[in-house]
Amino acid sequence: MMRLPLFCMTALALLAGCVQSPATRTASAPAQAQQPPQQVPGEGCAPPVYPPDAVQARMSGVSMMAFLVGSDGTVRESRLLKSSGYAILDRTAEAALRLCRFKPALKNGHTVAAWQPVQYAWSLP
């Protein structure tokens, strides 16, 4: 199977306005963290596998998402900020993200839930 060739975390500052905007904030939105979540090395946060149907149909694009890392380091929620243009690619990115584990964000020395942006770039050779 073909693996996604590019998985990149975008800078929190670039999308902070999108992630924390009033339109996407919920009543229980977590407080802004002093130190954002970080991927836990060796915890198997592998890039998603390119769906065979998407490869055959030559689908490509960028899935822009935000995800909530809980105080336990698990992905609690995700939101699609901008679609790749193909639901199958967006769903696959979301499913892969849910398998990741992170070192939780810190605020005043305590672990807290925090939103983090991510982009999955789907490109074919």
Residue pLDDT, tens place only, 23-45: 232 223 344 556 767 766 546 67
More confident residue, 57 or 22: 57
Task: Give residue limits of the domains in the chain.
Answer: 6-22+33-122
CA atoms within 13 A on the CB side of 19: 25
Q: Which residues contact 58 (CB under 8 A, 6 or more apart)?
A: 124
pTM: 0.68
| CA–CA–CA angle 70, 99, 89 (5° rounding) | 115
Stretch among 12-21, 64-73, 105-114 having the lowest mean pLDDT:
12-21
Q: Which two tokens stand for residue 45?
A: 């946060």
Contact yes or no for 70/113 (Cβ under 8 A): yes
What are the pLDDT digits (tens) for 40-95?
654 667 888 999 999 999 999 999 999 999 999 999 999 999 999 999 999 999 99
**Beta pairing class for 6-8 and 75-82:** unpaired
Tokens 């030559």 belong to residue: 58
Query: CA–CA separation, 62 vs 35, rounded Å?
Result: 26
Q: 6-22+33-122: CATH homologous superfamily?
A: TonB (3.30.2420.10)
